[in-house]
């Protein structure tokens, strides 16, 4: 039996992970689950899966969560210390599925405690890839990609020699607004941006998919996971969301990973540590699909993507700053204080200011990452009213 924990258990990835666990209950023991505001779902999941310990990130929900679990022998904790407590418990495998930079410390703690970490929380790799990798190496544990593109990359390069690889292509659906022109994006709302044509995901990543900020994060994540240079990563718009990554080799050969747009494939590949598990999900019927289309993204319409490539080139603390500025911009878009297109303007202006002050070149260490995160958010705030 494998001991597992899920950080961000109440979210889309967390619940999909529990769905997979429920198919083979005798193979897994759930140690800990965490959530934030949705304590009802957290309690329900903890009871159903007989978790030992749960934590809500929200301190003010501690007593309500305790009440919901009063008839069960499940330990309850709260706040960042609660999350770290759950992440520290002895688990062999931990899913890191908190959204945003809040996932960094708990994920890192799980690695430190000796768990193999399945990483959906791309933000921790973007902000602190070298720290995550160093910890996994020091502890001799695996860092397993869960993002569908990165899971696909790991599958297409498996067994290949690194120096035979000339380029990797990751795909983007184009999100909610792929049929709109840049001019038509001026007035779009968070509600419109929250509807993804192919994937069912949390709200923030769905909006990031419409702006291609999500793809920008994934470009940086690809660099951190697999040590690609900027020139070795390409993004293509692929509206069907069936091809997730393509490896291009020096002899002209290409290997593509095709799978349905259902995160349970990538999660299962991570859960079974790169072994195949029979999933009763709908297969892709290629004859019915008929055509797979690819096109180059319009960087004028999707300025966020260019910013992501800039970060890959800049290195250092650029990833942490970019992610923090992006989170601040997204918060303001959600609060109707910033337009959809204004998000990229705010992030670009923030990055330019940090670069001009030479604030991104320090070594990637946890304290420096946390510090630049705060600085980037505070600078981004000052630009919100200007765009
Ligand atoms: P959701 O918004 O659906 O879930 C987020 C989870 O994080 C919830 O459990 C939420 O708790 C918790 N959470 C939110 N804020 C905090 C906080 N400040 N501290 C601690 N916990 C918090 O997100 P997704 O499941 O869609 O995404 C999770 C991660 O996986 C993201 O990094 C995303 O980029 C990545 N990812 C997601 C994919 C998808 O298909 N959904 C695909 C690839 C990557 P609560 O709900 O209780 O408030």
| Nearest atom in ligand 1 to 83's CA | 20
Give pLDDT, residue 256: 98
- The answer, yes or no, to whether residue 358 has pLDDT greater than 90, is yes
262 lines ligand 1 (CB under 6 A): no
With a 6 Å cutoff on the Cβ, whether 8 touches ligand 1 is yes
Summarised one tens digit per residue, pLDDT across range 144-171 is 999 999 999 999 999 999 999 999 999 9
Distance in Å, CA 102 to ligand 1 centroid:
10
Task: Compute the distance from residue 177 Cα to the ligand 1 centre, in Å.
Answer: 22
C-beta pairs of 348-353 under 8 Å, 24+ apart in sequence = 348/303, 348/307, 349/383, 349/386, 349/387, 350/321, 350/325, 350/376, 350/379, 350/380, 350/383, 351/307, 351/310, 351/311, 351/318, 351/321, 351/322, 351/325, 353/379
3-state SS, residue 76: strand
Q: Quick one: which atom of ligand 1 is closest to the CA of 120?
A: 30
Q: Which residue puts its alpha carbon closest to atom 24 of ligand 1?
A: 202
| Residue 269: band (very low, low, confident or very high) from pLDDT cuts 50, 70, 90 | very high
Task: Tell me the CA–centroid distance for residue 202 and ligand 1, in Å.
Answer: 6
What does the alpha-carbon distance between residue 35 and residue 105 come to, in Å, rounded to a whole number?
15
Q: Whose CA is nearest to atom 26 of ligand 1?
A: 202
| Local confidence band at 275 (pLDDT 50, 70, 90 cut-offs) | confident
Going by alpha carbons, the residue nearest to atom 42 of ligand 1 is 147
In tens, the pLDDT along 44-69 reads 999 999 999 999 999 999 999 999 99
Most informative mutation of 37, 97, 267 for ligand 1 (most atoms within 8 A of CB): 97
Provide, rounded to the nearest whole percent, the portion of the chain with pLDDT above 90: 94
Would the pLDDT of 321 be above 90? yes
The rounded distance, in Å, linking the Cα atoms of 135 and 113 is: 10
**What pLDDT does residue 349 have?**
98
The H or E element that residue 312 is part of is helix 303-314
Q: In the predicted model, what is the mean pLDDT of residues 301-309?
A: 97
Give the tokens for residue 109: 């703690």
Q: Whose CA is nearest to atom 32 of ligand 1?
A: 121
Mean pLDDT within 308-312 = 98
The CB of 199 under 6 Å from ligand 1? The reply is: yes
pLDDT of residue 52: 98
pLDDT for res 283:
85
pLDDT in tens, 216-227: 999 999 999 999
10 Å CB burial of residue 214 (0-12, 13-18, 19+) is: buried
Best substitution site from 16, 40, 98, 216 to test ligand 1's pocket, by max atoms within 8 Å of Cβ?
A: 98
Q: Which residue among 43, 99, 319 is best mutated to probe the pocket of ligand 1, counting the most ligand atoms within 8 A of its Cβ?
A: 99
Residue 197 pLDDT? 82
User: What does the pLDDT average to over 316-325?
Assistant: 98
Instruction: Tell me the pLDDT band of 103, cut-offs 50, 70 and 90.
Output: very high
* pLDDT at residue 208, as a whole number: 96
Calculate mean pLDDT across residues 185-195.
Answer: 94
pLDDT at 281: 79
Give the whole-number percent of the chain exceeding pLDDT 70: 100
The structure tokens 């399945």 sit at: 118
Return the best residue to mutate from 10, 54, 205 for the ligand 1 pocket (most ligand atoms within 8 A of CB): 205
Nearest CA, atom 45, ligand 1: 36
How does residue 96 score in pLDDT terms, banded at 50, 70 and 90? very high
Sheet holding 75-78, edge to edge: 75-78, 53-56, 28-35, 2-7, 93-96, 116-119, 143-145
């Amino acid at each position: 039996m494998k001991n597992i924990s899920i950080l961000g258990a109440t979210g889309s990835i967390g619940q999909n992970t529990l769905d997979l666990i429920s198919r083979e209950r005798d193979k897994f023991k759930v140690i800990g689950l965490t959530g934030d505001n949705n304590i009802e779902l957290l309690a329900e999941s903890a009871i159903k899966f007989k978790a030992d310990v749960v934590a809500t990130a929200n301190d003010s929900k501690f007593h309500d969560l305790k009440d919901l679990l009063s008839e069960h022998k499940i330990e309850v904790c709260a706040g960042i210390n609660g999350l770290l407590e759950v992440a520290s418990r002895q688990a062999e495998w931990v899913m890191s599925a908190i959204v945003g930079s809040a996932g960094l410390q708990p994920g890192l703690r799980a690695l430190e405690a000796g768990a193999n970490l399945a990483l959906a929380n791309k933000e921790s790799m973007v902000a602190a890839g070298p720290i995550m990798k160093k910890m996994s190496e020091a502890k001799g544990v695996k860092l397993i990609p869960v993002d569908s593109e990165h899971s696909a990359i790991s599958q297409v390069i498996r067994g290949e020699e690194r120096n035979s690889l000339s380029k990797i292509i990751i795909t983007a659906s184009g999100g909610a607004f792929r049929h709109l022109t840049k001019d038509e994006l001026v007035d779009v709302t968070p509600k419109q941006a929250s509807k993804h044509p192919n994937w069912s995901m949390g709200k923030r990543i769905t909006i990031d998919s419409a702006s291609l900020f999500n793809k920008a994060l994934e470009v940086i994540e690809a660099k951190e996971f697999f040590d690609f240079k900027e020139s070795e990563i390409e993004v293509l718009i692929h509206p069907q969301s069936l091809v997730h990554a393509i490896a291009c080799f020096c002899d002209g050969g290409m290997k593509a990973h095709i799978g349905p747009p259902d995160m349970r494939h990538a999660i299962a590949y991570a859960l079974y540590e790169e072994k195949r598990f029979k999933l009763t999900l709908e297969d892709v019927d290629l004859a019915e699909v008929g055509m797979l289309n690819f096109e180059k993204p319009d960087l004028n319409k999707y300025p966020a993507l260019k910013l992501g490539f800039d970060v890959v080139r800049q290195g250092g603390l650029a990833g942490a700053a970019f992610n923090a500025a992006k989170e601040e911009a997204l918060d303001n878009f959600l609060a109707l204080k910033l337009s959809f297109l204004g998000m990229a303007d705010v992030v670009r202006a923030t990055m330019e200011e940090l670069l001009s002050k030479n604030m991104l070149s320090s070594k990637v260490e946890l304290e420096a990452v946390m510090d630049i995160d705060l600085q980037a958010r505070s600078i981004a705030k000052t630009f919100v009213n200007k765009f």
